[in-house]
Chain A
Amino acid sequence: MLISLTLRVNGASETLDAPANELLIDLLRGRLNLTGTKEACEVGECGSCTVLLDGAAVRSCLLFAFDAAGKEITTIEGLAVDGRLHPLQEAFMELGAVQCGFCIPGMILAAKALLDVQPRPTLAEIKQHLAGNLCRCTGYAKIVAAVQHAARRLAAATRPEAGAAAP
């Protein structure tokens, strides 16, 4: 059976008919050609399929498309603004946090979900939020460093003008 869905993907509204048994990841990859979202383990353990659903990191390989109806979805393709990479993407590049890269879209999105609600995360918070995203290549050291680096950069960019809140 088909279900008529309206959802927003990376800021654009999409209206389509989805079979009830269609998984969100298949809709994104197969129908919208958003192949940056990866499927690795197939059972929700690895986090490679992470996308943001209304800002929260979810497993798109375990979500039926109907569950995303009316929601805002962000995939890795939606992070850059006007061709400019997100500070997390830049930090992952610059700090050498990318090896094979297969986990990276999910990892960056999971990190974004954290920084969006907690711009100055502690090390423990970073680890908790990325614990559901497995990387087999890096040993995570440079991933942690990249998230910390991006957080600092984002904080610096959004800091109020000096003097706005003088001590």
Chain B
Amino acid sequence: MARVREFQYLEATSVEEACAWLREYGGAKVFAGGLALTILMKQHLFEPTCLINIKTIPGLDRIDYDAATGLRIGPLARHQWIAESATIAAHYPILAEAAGHVASLPIRRMGTVGGSLSHADPATDMAAALIAAGARLHLRSSDGERTLPIEEFFLDAHETQLQPDELLTGISVAAELAGRSGAHEKLRKNATDIPIVAVSVTVALQDGVLREARIGLAAAAPTPMRCPAAEALLRGAAPTAASIAAAAAQAAREARPISDLRASADYRRKMVRVLARRALRRAVAAAGLPIPE
């Protein structure tokens, strides 16, 4: 008695093979950690005719850091590995912090970062954090590879740039973005829930001013999103209570929240402001700078 509709099952041994199969088998779906996908399949909401297991491709779960080239996270890296990685904590602490906020520990152990991003739920902590970190995504098809900033990857709730024949092969963060302090602030219904709203920020400070800040939001729009106007307000500004508050207010204006079971759009917008302010203050404080009132 099967509860999941039958499908053809393929185990890829290389990225090239996976890409070729994606093109060859229409209706095929990449199988990674299998959490969100399996739930959809059990609920008969999404029934691919073919699953291509990419866990059989060596190396896709690696987390590599090189001072010259930066960070590369394989799509199969588990959230918990990122939360526990000393390398990531040292160079991209925002990613470790946010990963530790995802669902509950067993889910963090099973769920892959690539799978989560491909699922493209707007309420994804890691997406907000990767936006704040300045991550780029690497997409491969048989025609070649393209890369794009992560915030451009998301088109709508559960809709991404990923073409049916494309595979998300990696997440990278440039070396020059390493060492930025960050903070992830999350509001949720209960301790293991997805965010009602989450805000991730990173800051780069130079000579007492903000050289750059990056702000990523989750559950504040139909997609995870970046707040360019709020970031612009901070560029070159001294991190004061006033400048931070202004940027937080701007982030709230940029948000495009919806009303749903967890909260109203109004409340979400207010919370973007509160959480952005808190995250920015904490990130600046983590960089060792006092914040004048």
Which of A21, A30, A47, A131 is the one whose CB lies under 8 Å from B4? Answer: A21
Which of B3, B53, B104 is the one whose CB lies under 8 Å from A66? Answer: B53
Contacts of A131 in B (CB 8 A): 104-105, 191-192
Q: A22-B2, A44-B39 are in contact. Are A59 and B7 (CB under 8 A)?
A: no
CB contact list, A45-69 vs B, under 8 A: 45, 47, 50, 56-59, 61-64, 66-67
Contacts of B51 in A (CB 8 A): 20
Contacts of B55 in A (CB 8 A): 67
- Which of B57-65, B106-114, B254-262, B267-275 binds A? B106-114
Q: How many angstroms between the C-alpha atoms of A110 and B107 in the bound complex?
A: 12
Chain B min CB distance to A124 (Å):
12
Q: A21-B4, A132-B192 are in contact. Are A63 and B9 (CB under 8 A)?
A: no
Q: Name which of A23, A44, A59, A129 has the most chain B CB atoms within 10 A of its CB.
A: A44
Q: B106 contacts A59, CB within 8 Å? A: yes
Which of B7, B35, B38, B42 is the one whose CB lies under 8 Å from A20? Answer: B7
Q: A59 contacts B2, CB within 8 Å? A: no
- Is residue A42 within 8 Å, beta carbon to beta carbon, of the partner chain? yes
Q: How many angstroms between the C-alpha atoms of A3 and B38 in the bound complex?
A: 18
Tally chain A residues at the interface, Cβ within 8 Å.
31
- Is residue B158 within 8 Å, beta carbon to beta carbon, of the partner chain? no
- Is residue B15 within 8 Å, beta carbon to beta carbon, of the partner chain? no
Contacts of A63 in B (CB 8 A): 34, 38, 110
Q: B9 contacts A47, CB within 8 Å? A: no
Q: How many angstroms between the C-alpha atoms of A22 and B9 in the bound complex?
A: 12
Given contacts A57-B106, A67-B34, 11 further A-B contacts (CB under 8 A): A1-B8, A1-B9, A19-B2, A20-B8, A21-B4, A22-B2, A44-B107, A47-B106, A62-B34, A110-B106, A132-B107
Q: What are 21 residue pairs bridging A and B, where the CB atoms are less than 8 Å apart in the complex?
A: A1-B6, A1-B8, A3-B9, A21-B2, A23-B4, A26-B3, A43-B39, A44-B38, A57-B106, A58-B110, A61-B42, A62-B110, A63-B34, A63-B110, A66-B9, A67-B34, A110-B106, A129-B105, A131-B191, A132-B103, A132-B192
